[in-house]
Amino acid sequence: MSDGPGSPLMPTYPPPPVTFVRGRGTELWDVEGRRYLDFLSGLGVTALGHAHPAVAEAVATQARTLVHVSNLFGTEVGPEVARTLDRLLGGGGQVFFSNSGAEANECAIKLARKWGGRGRHTVVSAYGSFHGRTLATLHATGQPAKHEAFQPLPEGFRHVAWCDLDALEAAIDPGVAAVLLEPVQGEGGVQPATAEYFQGVRRLCDERGLLMMVDEVQTGLGRTGRWFAFEHFDVRPDVVTLAKALGNGVPIGACWARAEVAAAFRPGDHGSTFGGQPLAASAARAVLATMEAEDVPRRAAATGARLAEALGQVPGVRLVRGLGLLLAAELVERPAAEVTAGALERGLVVNAVTSTAVRLAPPLLVSEAEVDEALEILAEVLR
């Protein structure tokens, strides 16, 4: 991120309040050797914590073996990771690997257009959503203020009110190919969908012959107390996108689709030079193996319930919303940015997800003692 005037980095981020140099589990240390508790996980990325030994060993071993050959040739690790993801998603699908969540969503959007055919390409998403910062995923993102500086954006996107089935139905016309939704709007303030809404979307997509595409970039792989957040709502999507937790910090994304939908792509329709290369895929393989061994959905559900209950009792917190270990504390009167700055000064990393809400997304292996320490810091700040 930019360090301000004279920085060699483009000014796309504000100057950093802290520079971190080392991490272990839920802990981080800055350049001055000060310790912090990380209850943001790099925006939901380091789901197994920092420097997890299984992931570090997998990356080191692969770096000494084979890092990259491009997708002109086969490698062994990527297909293994794809099979694991397909199994966790219920089977019957295929995977495209990318390098980020935005690229995974870009793949989903292109797949919807190819599947829908010429003239049937519109993707409907929700206000308050966040799907990425490429031109297409930026337009899919339901935050018009983010669009203005980059107009004209690619056409073929439409936005409707969040959790409003009637609004969605009214927006569907013969040009619509797909609906793209997050099960929990993370950047929109940690706003979970309801089972009634997601089940209604599934029915609408079936009735109108549309793809139901679910963005699990932030919520996938145990974060919400299930392997995938859509499982809370008893639906099965046609397309699912993943990233963040999949590499535990090593850049990798994935777009899964039912095999009959994935068949719309032919060789040459889509690609990525780095997507699924052995280094990132080896990290993902180690991540998935560790997550299954640790049963991270169960741990996230139990720890998340405990954290949410205790957080709701902190004076200054009006309500807590979210699923598992993706939570937002809505504050009574204090600006969220002020609270997150105060927490950072006391050694706790969280972020202001809206002007009035603080987001907490600790590693899924966070300990009870670390939860108690974080709660004590937040209570002190709010006092």
Q: What pTM did the predictor assign?
A: 0.96
Q: Which CATH class is domain 54-294?
A: alpha beta
Q: Mapping DSSP to helix (H, G, I), strand (E, B) and coil, where does residue 350 land?
A: coil
Please report the pLDDT score of residue 6 as a whole number. Answer: 79
**Is position 244 annotated as part of the catalytic site?**
yes
Residue 4 confidence class, pLDDT cut points 50, 70, 90: low
> Among the options 38, 39, 233, 244, which is catalytic?
244
Q: What are the tokens at 205?
A: 């997509």
CATH code that applies to domain 295-382? 3.90.1150.10
| Per-residue confidence band for 3, with pLDDT thresholds at 50, 70 and 90 | low
- Whether the per-residue pLDDT at 239 is higher than 70: the answer is yes
Q: Is the pLDDT of residue 2 over 90?
A: no
Measure Cα distances from 18 to 3, 34, 335, 349 in Å.
11, 10, 20, 10
- Where do the domains of the chain lie? 54-294, 295-382
Whether 54-294 and 295-382 share one fold: the answer is no
Task: Confirm whether 215 is a catalytic residue.
Answer: yes
- For residues 97-116, average pLDDT: 98
Strand order in the sheet with 176-181: 93-98, 253-258, 239-242, 211-215, 176-181, 122-126, 157-160
Catalytic residue among 130, 157, 228, 233: 130
- Nearest Cα neighbor of 374 from 318, 325, 323 is 325
Is 173 catalytic? The answer is no
Q: Of 215, 233, 238, 265, which one is the catalytic site residue? A: 215
Predicted confidence (pLDDT) per residue in 137-189, tens digit = 999 999 999 999 999 999 999 999 999 999 999 999 999 999 999 999 999 99
CA distance 80 to 147: 38
pLDDT 10s digits, 61-96: 999 999 999 999 999 999 999 999 999 999 999 999
Residue 5: the pLDDT is 67
Q: Which residues of 152-187 are buried (b: 16+ CB within 10 A; e: fewer)?
A: eeeebbbbbebbebeebeebbeeebbbbbbbbbbbb
